[in-house]
Each structure stands twice: as structure tokens, then as C-alpha cells.
Amino acid sequence: MTSSERVTSRRTVLTALAAAAAAGTPLIGQLAAAAPAFAGDLEYANNTALYQDPNLVEGTAYSRRYRRHEKFDLKQGEKYDFPRTAVLALHGGGIEIGTSELALGIAGYSPGDAAGAPVLPVTYDYWMFEGLLSSGNKALHVTSKNCDDHVALSLARSHLNVLSLHGCQYDQLGMAEPGVWPPSSDPRLAVVGGLNPAFRTALVSELTKAGFPAIDAFDPKYGTRLADFNGSHVTNPCNLTMLGKGAQIEMTTELRQSLFDDYSSRSARAATWNGEFVKFRDACRRAITTVEAGQPVL
């Protein structure tokens, strides 16, 4: 499709949905159902464009949540630790379901009580964008490399490491051929990417030991089949760290579903994260600990 055809397609869809918007229905919430063929062409160019859409109301159509822990060193003769890792969920809520709950868990908080006290002794800074629409949340997806949210980028650039969490579908990965990934019948797959090879190795190792099929998206055996899922773009927030490299995990729907007893809604997920969730959470936290052990604060 040419650029002029994309503009025409976009205008056609927007015109067709104008009545819904005038009636008070968030326009973007209708896109997935009304114009699935144009979903890729209608994706917002960046977060700024999404935030400036008058048809989207923050708190109704989407939300942004973050936590930056206060740290200070007021003693001249002592040195204190400083946060080295941040956890991001760029497509949380109803967009890539389960990623915002996992971000909270890995950061040390309960998915059911994000504003409360931490549930683990070590906590990490986090940021998440969540789709809140009753349907059509995929239309709120902004490609990672185009993320320009000021808080998200500030967190990334002020940390040595970022772990960014994403969701995908197994059949998007091209992994079903016999012998490519044994057991090929198990769709609960975690594809680990990002430009920090040490972080990728730690994540694959810990997730595998915890019982989750996990692969390195850069493993030569997969060739270029995982290029769209390897988090290699230099403007992907996972790589906009102080070191210019980080990690991300693409988790299949089946994997994310297995982490909750009830996957059907935000409230259900917040209340029914299960033992598999804890195992996945703790595996990621162990990987972070491994990476940070080689990064002393000077």
C-alpha cells in the first residue's frame, strides 16, 4: 500500500467512525472492530500523538503508572547503593495482557495493590502504559522504538539496566517447524531480546531452570526469524539505558495465561496470580541480581 493509499484508508475509517466519536464513544476503541485491515496503518506514531488525541481520556481509555524510589546519601564517610534496574511494560492493561501485572511483580509489588507497601524486600523502579478500553485496546499500541513518553525515557536513561515486558502470539514467531524448538508443541514460550547479552543469558538461564521454555532471540540457530521480536532497535527503551543496552521478554499468550488462574480481566488477574506467576517473577529477579552483581556502583 502506498503512502497516499494509507492516508486515504485512514481518512475513510476515521470518517466512518466519526458518528461514534460524536456520540461520546472513544474513537480509537472502535478501530479494531471497524477497520482491522488498517490496524497497522492507524497505529499512533508515538506516545505524544496518542496523548494528544482528544477522543482519548487518560484514566478512561488508558493510564500511566510509575514508581521511582527515593534514594539519598547524606553521610560523608559512607556509600549507599543506587537503583540500577527499571522494569517497563509499554503495552500493559488490555494491550499485551499480563505484562503490567508482571512488571509490578518483578518490581517487588503486588499486582493487586500497586499503591501499597512492597511485598518483597528489594524493589525496582517501574513504568507502565495500560489500555483500559472495554475492547479494541490493540489500537492503543505504540511500537516500542517510537515510545517518547518522558517518564519512561527518563527512567530508562537513568538506569544501567531495563527489563521491558511484552506479549506476542506463538504463531507469530514461526517456531512451529519440527526440530526448531523442542518441544515445538509447547506454546508457552519466552523470547528474550535486547542488546545486553549478559542480561539475555541470565534471563534465559533462570527462566529455563524455573521450568519455562525460554530462548535467546539472537541465537544463530533461529537466523532472522525472530528479528521482529529481538528488541534490537537502538531507540527501543530497553536499550536507552546508561549502558546503551538492556533486555526485553516477549511472552506468548499461552505463557501469560498460565501465570493467572483467571486471565479474563484486570481485576481477575490482580486477584488470581498464581504459583507460576511467582516462579516467573522470581526467575526474572534472580537474573537482575546476577547482572547487577557485575555492576557495582562506583
pLDDT at 288: 98
**pLDDT > 70 in the chain, percent:** 83
Regarding beta strands 190-193 and 247-252, do their DSSP bridges make them parallel or antiparallel, or are they unpaired?
A: antiparallel
Partnered with residue 166 across adjacent β-strands are 250
Is the pLDDT at 262 greater than 70, yes or no? Answer: yes
For 219-248, the pLDDT digits (tens) are 999 999 999 999 999 999 999 999 999 999
Q: pLDDT at residue 21 above 70?
A: no
Nearest to 44 by CA among 147, 178, 177: 147
Please state which of the ranges 24-33, 75-84, 109-118 shows the lowest mean pLDDT.
Answer: 24-33
Could you tell me the pLDDT band of residue 180, with boundaries at 50, 70 and 90? Answer: low
C-alpha cell at 174: 514461526
Residues ≥6 apart with Cβ < 8 Å to 275: none
Q: What percent of the chain has pLDDT over 90?
A: 74
How far is residue 145's CA from residue 147's CA, in Å, rounded to a whole number? 6
Main-chain dihedrals φ then ψ at residue 85, nearest 5 degrees:
-135, 135
Q: pTM for the complete prediction?
A: 0.85
Mean of pLDDT values over 264-277: 96
Please name the amino acid found at residue 55.
N
- Contacts of residue 282, Cβ cutoff 8 Å, sequence gap at least 6: 210
pLDDT of residue 79: 83
Whole-angstrom CA distances from 7 to 13, 54, 114, 139, 151 are 10, 20, 41, 17, 31
Quick one: pLDDT at residue 114?
82
- Compute the half-sphere exposure of residue 275: CA atoms within 13 Å on the CB side of its CA: 2
The residue ranking higher by pLDDT, 196 or 35, is 196
197-209 and 275-293 helices, crossing angle to 10°: 150
Spell out a b/e string for 12-43, using b for 16 or more CB atoms within 10 Å of the CB, else e: ebeeebeeebeeeebbbbbbbeebeebeeebb
